[in-house]
Structure 1
Amino acid sequence: MERTFAVRVRDGLHARPATQFVKLAKSFASDITIICNGQTASAKSAVKLMLLGIKENDEATLRVNGDDAPDALSALSTFLQNPSAGEVVLPKAEAAAAPAPPGAPKASDQKADDGVTGIAASEGTGLGPSFAFFPPVLKIERQVASDTEAEISRYRDAVSSVTTAFARNKERSGAESDTIAIIDALIDVAQDAEFAEEIEAAIRGGQDAASATMSVGTRLTENFEAMDDPYIRARGEDMRSVTRQIVLALIGQSDVSLADVTSGSVVVADEVTAWDLAKANMSDIAGIVCRKGAATSHVAIMARAYGIPAVLGVPVSAEQLAASKAVGLDGATGRVFLDPDGVVRSRLEEAITRENQESKALEAYRKVEPVTSAGVRVEVAANLGSLAEIPSALEAGAMGVGLFRTEFLFMERKTLPSEDEQADVYTRLAEAFAPYPVVIRTLDIGGDKPISGVDFEHEDNPFLGWRGVRMCLERPDIFKPQLRALLRASVIGNVKVLVPMIADGSEVQEVRNLFAECQDELQQEGVAFGTFELGVMIETPAAVFLAAELARQVDFFSIGTNDLTQYVMAADRLNPKVASLNRTEHPAVLNAIASACNAATAAGIWIGVCGEAAARQDLIGFFIKNGVTELSMSPTSIPRAKRAITEL
């Protein structure tokens, strides 16, 4: 069986979506290959898959042979057509490759004392004594293997030792979710079947395990680094890191370690890998400065997760870095100062003081329930997609959940979740935030976000197609188990249900009718259930124009600014060519929001905002002025939003 389609994964199959895709492929017994750009690779090899360099909107063909081929084809094509699969949020800095950004002065044109410019990879200001991290180059002399099978066994033992060490670092106290995901990706590279096959073939050809691993790993690293796409090119760092660790295990040597970093030091290096950083006590590191690397690299992602300033791709020699006694850096601009003089040092110290004051000031807002000077209390809640995100939301001071995206329960599975599974997830979510409310959105999927178990026909514009409540009302076999699960979780007392993609009042009535059916069924079965508030997303122009009518049918509104903006402006939010039109602050969009707010106020129901604009400092005042009493956003934005509200 095979299927051809356009890949919709945002930014293509870089490390994490490739890793997730391979894990999904390995869950099936079928042989699975993927064909793209005239090249073919096994869907069960992360290394070979990434080397295809599959980008967003590339045309790909999945070819599947085996007993479970239909299920495999459905699940894998679903993954590849999900824009947010494995999504990584990048910083505002340009996602450039390892060389210095266009227009940056060359090393030969700059004096290190005056500062040099690299790639801004993680915001913040750093200053401290330099910790030179320059692991020695491994020189492996090729030897003839006298016992081929013994060498293969040694290689496999080395891989097992390395992956065990990787896994141990996931269990360290305080490990961030980003770090854990990156270590998982490194483990997948180390255990990649085709990587192993090539090394074992080289051993059978007469090489010893260490030189075979080094030669195959070096060639694959060079293949990655020759790719055009910066995401794929940055994976050369991972390949080189994994290769080095396996070779060191084979020759019985230990690597230099960042575990020895002196507290308050700035790490200077040719390159720092995710594996290197995973061994460090992150709180000891005041900054990271590297000659190689990109804003898309795993070390950049980890630095951002831990709030460590980082500048990569710095155009100075390794000798200059290693010789520096102290280093200052600005992770927002990419400026690096080697052995800064008194003036520069004072400026950096002042910036660090300001940032620390800012951080401490925001810390005070984590437990605040913000009220404007006019006495308006505003709930600042979190947008979540899974239970794993609960701790970060609670830590940030979320006053509940303003949007729980239930589609993620469905999208990364081969089969539909059962009613019991859903009830368990929704109940645990409600218990975690009680007594604060949790707003759970019913299944919001469509041609752009398909799931296994639903056959979505091709649609030229899935954003205007069979999606959200439209699909759910036609598939009660999928929708009713979710509604029953929501009713069961409502016994906690803080559940609110949000229905997406409403464009007509009759849709609200149909949802209420289905809820009534589910209540009757649960009552007859003797299953406990509770009551809840029912709300609708205001994200279609139709909902805006019908807001007064809809407000009489529901308990609350929640404005989805992302979709509302693209529908009002007729500008696809995934199309960079019309990005200038896709602006929430456009007068047309603001008028639509104000109109919905007026309808909610007139009907006496509450209204919230759950799109990305909810966290925008320039729009919070507008929302509250128009009657919004709930703002929901990513957890990291919550303290800043609370402060903005109290300062209104």
Structure 2
Amino acid sequence: MLTLGQDDILLDCQARDWREALDAAAQALQTAGLVDAGYRQGLHAREAQSSTFLGNAIAIPHGTPESRQHVKRTGVRVLQFPRGIEWHDGNRVHVLVTIAAQNDEHLDILRQLTHVLDRDGVAERLAAASDSGEVAALLSKAVVEARVDAATLCLGFPGHDAAELALAGAARLRQAGCVASEFVAAIAAASPQPLGQGLWLASAERGVGQPALALATPEAPLATPLGTVNGVFCLAAQGEAHRPLLERLVALLDSGAGETLAGLCEAEVLARLAGESATAQTATVRVLNAHGLHARPAKQLVQVARAQPLAIKVRLAEGSAAAVSAASLTKVIGLGARRGQMLQFSAEGQGAETALAAVCDAVSAGLGEKVAPFDESREHAAVASAAAPRLEPLPADTPHQAVAASPGLAIAPLFVMRTPRFDYPRQGQGTSHEIPRLEQAIAEGQAQLEALVKRAPGGEVAEILSMHEEMLDDPELHQAARDAIDDGLSAEAAWWDAIDTAAHAQEMLADRLLAERAADLRDVGRRVLGILCQVTLPEPPAHPYILVADDLGPSDVARLDTARVRGLLTARGGATAHSAILARALGIPAVVGAGDRVLSLDNGVEMILDGERGRVIPAPSAERRSRAELRLKEHEAREREAWEARFEEGRTRDGQRVEVAANLGNTAHAADAVERGAEGVGLLRTEFLFMAHASAPDLDTQIAEYREAITALEGRPLVARTLDVGGDKPLPYWPVPQEDNPFLGLRGIRLALTQPEVLETQLRALLIAAVGTPLRIMLPMVKDIAEFRQAKAIYDRLLAELPATERATDVQLGVMIEVPSSALLAPSLAAEVDFFSVGTNDLTQYTLAIDRGHPELSAQADGLHPAVLRLIQMTVDAAHAQGKWVGVCGELASDATAVPVLVGLGVDELSVSARQVPLVKARLRDIDLAEARAQAELALAQATSEAVRDALEAR
């Protein structure tokens, strides 16, 4: 209930314009301890959406839903401006009733205010008042709601006269909690009075808790000595509060509907009592707005209603509210309609059906707000569990930054896949019962994975799922589970204990990547556990959607129907997790590590997901959505055009040559890269070969593997990175002592040099496999010239040992620029190396001291940071001074915003994922060298990565 004291009223305020008035209102709320300073911005943001002018020289400014975080407690402050303010919509305002509400309490405040302000002359009295007590009294007058609804109706009662029907009505009011027993006694002592048309009225004031109206109708119209009885109204009167009920009765009689009441159902009776005639057409629609019909959507509804050629009435379908004019803002707000409630519209005359369809469509569309479908069972469950702590969902139409995992743009409604609950007994029923259950579940899980592998589109998808098959066939897991069953556990408990123990042990071995591989193990475990518990995941919708989940296992991703899944969004995970790798392989835009708040989003809420920027926007505004749709159409058109021109050389618009190559994680994908227009392989990650064997692969095995890629390239150059393991990527047969920080430990070239014979075998295999074709070999994680010289000594010896006819002759040896020291020392390196390739992923994380897989910080690990760009510039300048070339093989090379900057810095080659090759070539054709250099200069002049992106987008 809105109650005001004298301290809540600020009289004789002054402001030069409406903005200054809003600032004064915000300061008043802050001074009262209702809000903090941030609420001021919410008031201005709300006013920017639409005017909060209510009528009668009164505005009701309040914050946006996003600004509720700044509300400390609910309350209002009233500011009186006797001289008036010209509001931004052209109206004159004398009084601001400024609202601070934490949840939906503002709807009650607004509803009460509309009743108060609807009284004639109240606005003038508020503007002229010289005493705050008078203002408080005018605004604080309680509004008593009179009740008539399904609970106060008693239809088809087997009564014999009007008195019995009156008592039946009184009894119904008592059951509804509106009256006490003394009211029933008063009705029993009174005689019903005829109203005409067979309707009668009995009323009393004693024992009334809430004014209300009951109606009792007989099974059939009664013929009595006093006249026909079609129905008896029983009125619980209280002061003036029951007057609207009497007015509705008069309207009912004026319409001549009294004689038909006895044969009507509850809905029809309530419609007549609400003022709808028997000839009116009606339509019912549900309110979907998250915060109900507050001022902004109510104003939209009123505008739609006023645009119709005939009068439209509206009421709450479930309650007793009279039908009010849908063209009256105060009346519509006064309904107090909340999300999920049904509105019933009515209209009479030619065109009524079309007019009703227009207002219903407007309500269903959200009346200018983004809305989600109403799931009754879920919404009721949410209400029932309202006391439980719940994370606030992401604010509507507000960008939320997370981790970019797979490029692309998606616009679609959400489907939130919540982690299923596995309920099972801890204790089992003996080995003879539990072990066969476990073995059957494992066999079924293996069959499921085999089916997924057969349906997989190949490449990384099939490989990772095959790895899951191997995990599921691990005899140590099986034995650990059997041992636990022998100890008395159920199959479910034994299996999950085995999985959890193995995954935890793997997580303890090293940092990010192994933790994400442990997630694979848990994914396998959940598959079997789901079979044992007979738990199935909810079915996704038939329409296109963005999938939201806590995290996704690779098998979850592999099962996705790519025809319907427009994008992936996860609360956890990193850009190097297998689920992210698979999303990129399937070409599905993905954003990961967005935090638990995304799980609080409702199914059906529309979202814009930007996999390139790692950004999501739930419930975007119409304007923002329109811009995103335009971007998406432009992107799709560019993809089509890029695919058609994929075999053209990589060149800028004015002819500057920039080679576009592909990054490969497996030699089997080289043919696909060529088909997509790659001009070579700019990064072959050779560690896949070492990870696929139980011991280091021998010379012949390596030669055969490298030759597969070289053959597929048909004379195009191959840039192969030597073995890059250790630290976060250990090999089981090459143990590395546990390190506090694996990223700063034994990895890359420094690990390879501890066993130079392994490096020598790999270099020999590459040289032999590339006979007659261009070969570029690069060394990873080189920090200075000393490490390069150690590796080059082995390389030079092999060149001398191998006859020129048995090895590559068009061969170069370069280094990856991944650590700041190598960029800073680029001049000394450039004097001896043949080329540089900048690995922007590692260079960024080492330069900014941010782990790019960190769940909270990785979004800040942006390769467009000016510090990273300066290191790239230093590298290019040093290389070009010695006549050497520079490539970029990190994710930055495929960033559409970064491509012109890299070209402007002088980069000679861009190596990207095979899918990105056509788009990067197309991006090059969009720019010329002069523009690229200007963008590079602009980027280098900024102080942060955010400033770089803002400046480039604004250019």
Band of TM-score, shorter chain: 0.5 to 0.7
The alpha-carbon deviation at position 372 of structure 1 amounts to 0.8
Q: Could you tell me which residue of structure 2 aligns to residue 416 of structure 1?
A: 696
Residue 171 in structure 1 maps to residue 454 in structure 2: yes
> Among 234, 242, 265, which residue is 2:528 paired with?
242
Residue 531 in structure 1 maps to residue 817 in structure 2: no
Look up the SS of the partner of 1:149 in the other structure: helix
| Greater relative contact order (CA < 8 Å, ≥ 6 in sequence) | 1
Whether the 8 Å CA contact 2:651–2:659 is kept in 1: the answer is: no
After superposition, residues 220-259 of structure 1 pair within 5 angstroms as 239-248=525-534
Residue 115 in structure 1 maps to residue 371 in structure 2: yes
**Do the aligned partners of residues 556 and 341 (structure 1) sit closer, same or farther apart at CA in structure 2, a change above 3 Å counting?**
closer
The alpha-carbon deviation at position 346 of structure 1 amounts to 8.0
> Among 862, 884, 887, which residue is 1:608 paired with?
887
Q: Could you tell me which residue of structure 1 aligns to residue 443 of structure 2?
A: 160
**Do the aligned partners of residues 303 and 352 (structure 1) sit closer, same or farther apart at CA in structure 2, a change above 3 Å counting?**
same
> Among 626, 629, 638, which residue is 2:917 paired with?
638
Q: Could you tell me which residue of structure 2 aligns to residue 386 of structure 1?
A: 666
The alpha-carbon deviation at position 437 of structure 1 amounts to 0.7
How many residues are aligned here? 518
The alpha-carbon deviation at position 506 of structure 1 amounts to 7.3
CA deviation digits over 1:223-250, x for unaligned, max 9?
99xx9x99789987765543232455xx
Look up the SS of the partner of 1:282 in the other structure: coil
CA deviation digits over 1:346-379, x for unaligned, max 9?
8987676455335434544543422112211211
**Do the aligned partners of residues 410 and 269 (structure 1) sit closer, same or farther apart at CA in structure 2, a change above 3 Å counting?**
closer
Look up the SS of the partner of 1:641 in the other structure: helix
The alpha-carbon deviation at position 521 of structure 1 amounts to 3.8
Letter in 1 for 2:812: L
Letter in 2 for 1:115: V
Q: Could you tell me which residue of structure 2 aligns to residue 11 of structure 1?
A: none
After superposition, residues 557-596 of structure 1 pair within 5 angstroms as 557-561=836-840, 571=849, 585=864, 589-596=868-875
Whether the 8 Å CA contact 1:115–1:336 is kept in 2: the answer is: no
Instruction: Indicate the structure (1 or 2) with the bigger Cα radius of gyration.
Output: 2
Whether the 8 Å CA contact 1:443–1:468 is kept in 2: the answer is: yes
**Do the aligned partners of residues 365 and 573 (structure 1) sit closer, same or farther apart at CA in structure 2, a change above 3 Å counting?**
farther
The alpha-carbon deviation at position 531 of structure 1 amounts to 0.9
Residue 401 in structure 1 maps to residue 681 in structure 2: yes
Look up the SS of the partner of 1:171 in the other structure: helix
Q: Could you tell me which residue of structure 2 aligns to residue 181 of structure 1?
A: 464
TM-score by length of 2: 0.43
How many Å separate the matches in 2 of 1:192 and 1:544? 48
**Do the aligned partners of residues 467 and 366 (structure 1) sit closer, same or farther apart at CA in structure 2, a change above 3 Å counting?**
same
Q: Could you tell me which residue of structure 2 aligns to residue 517 of structure 1?
A: 797
How many Å separate the matches in 2 of 1:389 and 1:546? 35
Letter in 2 for 1:165: Q
CA deviation digits over 1:318-339, x for unaligned, max 9?
xxx6xxxx875434465667xx
Moved more, 429-438 or 233-242: 233-242
Whether the 8 Å CA contact 2:428–2:485 is kept in 1: the answer is: no
> Among 904, 908, 911, which residue is 1:629 paired with?
908
The alpha-carbon deviation at position 304 of structure 1 amounts to 6.2
Q: Could you tell me which residue of structure 1 aligns to residue 707 of structure 2?
A: 427
**Do the aligned partners of residues 144 and 202 (structure 1) sit closer, same or farther apart at CA in structure 2, a change above 3 Å counting?**
closer
> Among 637, 656, 662, which residue is 1:376 paired with?
656
After superposition, residues 454-493 of structure 1 pair within 5 angstroms as 475-493=755-773
Letter in 1 for 2:531: Q
CA deviation digits over 1:600-638, x for unaligned, max 9?
334433332234433344443343334322112333443
Q: Could you tell me which residue of structure 1 aligns to residue 257 of structure 2?
A: none
How many Å separate the matches in 2 of 1:494 and 1:370? 19
Whether the 8 Å CA contact 1:126–1:329 is kept in 2: the answer is: yes
CA RMSD of aligned residues (A): 5.9
Letter in 1 for 2:650: P
The alpha-carbon deviation at position 168 of structure 1 amounts to 1.8
Whether the 8 Å CA contact 1:363–1:639 is kept in 2: the answer is: yes
The alpha-carbon deviation at position 493 of structure 1 amounts to 0.8
How many Å separate the matches in 2 of 1:504 and 1:293? 39
The alpha-carbon deviation at position 180 of structure 1 amounts to 5.4
How many Å separate the matches in 2 of 1:137 and 1:583? 37
Q: Could you tell me which residue of structure 1 aligns to residue 351 of structure 2?
A: none
Letter in 1 for 2:814: V
Letter in 2 for 1:243: L
Letter in 1 for 2:808: G
Look up the SS of the partner of 1:417 in the other structure: coil
Whether the 8 Å CA contact 1:413–1:452 is kept in 2: the answer is: no
TM-score by length of 1: 0.60
How many Å separate the matches in 1 of 2:617 and 2:754? 56
Letter in 1 for 2:528: V
How many Å separate the matches in 2 of 1:276 and 1:476? 38
Moved more, 613-622 or 442-451: 442-451
**Do the aligned partners of residues 595 and 109 (structure 1) sit closer, same or farther apart at CA in structure 2, a change above 3 Å counting?**
same
Identical pairs, percent:
29
Look up the SS of the partner of 1:607 in the other structure: strand
Consecutive unaligned residues in structure 1, runs of 5 or more: 1-101, 249-253
**Do the aligned partners of residues 351 and 452 (structure 1) sit closer, same or farther apart at CA in structure 2, a change above 3 Å counting?**
closer
**Do the aligned partners of residues 548 and 176 (structure 1) sit closer, same or farther apart at CA in structure 2, a change above 3 Å counting?**
closer
How many Å separate the matches in 2 of 1:331 and 1:132? 14
Look up the SS of the partner of 2:814 in the other structure: strand
Whether the 8 Å CA contact 2:480–2:498 is kept in 1: the answer is: no
**Do the aligned partners of residues 159 and 413 (structure 1) sit closer, same or farther apart at CA in structure 2, a change above 3 Å counting?**
closer
The alpha-carbon deviation at position 170 of structure 1 amounts to 0.8
